[in-house]
Structure 1
Amino acid sequence: MRPDQTLNRPTTRTRLPIAFQAKPRQVVVRCLLVAAFFGIAFAIDQFTGQRFSAI
């Protein structure tokens, strides 16, 4: 198979956001980082009683 045939082949992945076009492992790591950031921010918010203006 020639390379141009694979490039011109229509796929459903082209219309997905850039985050889902990356490798699955990168997507999982990115989601975990975001979840960990909000989880830590929420935990600090609960323990200290202070509100974050950025969130």
Structure 2
Amino acid sequence: MNKILFVALGGAIGSSLRFFLSALIPRVLGRIFLWGTFSVNIIGSLLIGIL
């Protein structure tokens, strides 16, 4: 049961972070590239690697 809750919590945090960064980063860096999605994927990969 704890594993399911951790997966749900991670999904909620990840999707919220993706939404926030997808709205914020294009304002700073421009809309040429999907920087929000790219940065969330890099951060997520780093965190999974650390765990």
Compute the TM-score of the two structures, normalised by the length of structure 2.
0.49
Q: Give the greater-gyration-radius structure (CA).
A: 1
Greater length-normalized contact order (CA 8 Å, ≥ 6 residues apart): 2
- Which structure shows the bigger proportion of residues in helix conformation? 2
Compute the TM-score of the two structures, normalised by the length of structure 1.
0.46
